[in-house]
Structure 1
Amino acid sequence: MESEERVRHIVVMGVSGVGKTTIAKGISTFTGWTFAEGDAFHPEANVAKMHEGHPLTDEDRWPWLRAIGAWMSAEIAEGRSAVITCSALRRAYRDLLREDRPEVEFCHLAAQADLIGDRLSHRDGHFMPPSLLPSQYATLEPLEDDEPGVTVSVEGPVPDVLTRVVASLHLPDRRADDHPDPTPDQRTQTTE
């Protein structure tokens, strides 16, 4: 039971288009933990600003990060583990997310800018335009050795990335018995 295990909160971080939502949902399915989309915590003014092609400033980001932190604190208080997406590009942002929350760990999804640029150019329905990607890479401060978390490359198929994430974070498998294991051997088997 989760109540017998320590509460953990995984912040899936990285630049836009790196696959935060896809991987976070995969973690949620694997662990049975609560999933939250960090973008949903943005004030409307932030969304409008990004949609217009303007990068966010720290002044824009602090209320958003505090809202995510408040949500995590509420989940932690209820004894629930969770996974949430958040770019968390700078150390200062991650420090705020961890403030008084030792349960918080980070999973930095990393890739070369050209791969992510290509992904963004084919993505529909997101408020952040590909033109803002260079500003995100300019802001990005990779995880430091003293920060709790892992960095995982997103190169390759999503199931392979998820397998690497699960192994790197030592996540508990809470899937129902009818879900196949996301290992390369079983993924390639057909069910005919």
Structure 2
Amino acid sequence: RSGYFKTQELATFRRLNSRLQGHPATAEGIEGVRIASGSLGQGLSVAIGAAISKKLSNEPSLVYVLMGDGEMDEGQIWEAAMYAAGKGVDNLIATVDYNKQQIDGPIDKVMPLGNLKAKWEAFGWQVLEMPGNDMEAVVKTFVKAKTLCGQHKPVCILMHSEMGHGVDFMAGTHHWHGVPPSNEQLATALTQLNETLGDY
């Protein structure tokens, strides 16, 4: 946890007049938010720009970007993917949260993605896959991804996850995408989770 704001502020998520709206904006003054992109597919392009900037400045650091699988509907993602591979942006690790749900419904009903691994590979990326709800596997995969950097190809990680994992009435459905639970639902959910933000 980076500590940009108090965990109590999370209770204002998606509430009227909250800084934590659905797509946090830079105008809200949220520490750690440098750009507002949301589901518009702009995050990968911004990350590529940051990665190129680091290369031009001879900075050895890596750039990470997290995208949703619903975001793969956006053409800008694929333009950026083609650019990054074509220009050898190899200090970039992009992760796709592949939970097969988006705000409008299941991916296969809204916009089927087909073989997502094959698509990223066809665009010239090195692709890894991992179970996104298994933190040990997540850490191991990121360690592996870092070893692939510097080989003239960007890295994409397909993170197979389950939306709402661990909470019986939230798991595997898009219905909770951006919808806060009631106090009663929250209490029920917290009894089903081994670890919560309250533990931090």
Which structure would you say has the larger Rg? 2
Q: TM-score, normalised by structure 2?
A: 0.37
Question: Which structure features the higher share of helix residues?
Answer: 1
Q: TM-score, normalised by structure 1?
A: 0.38
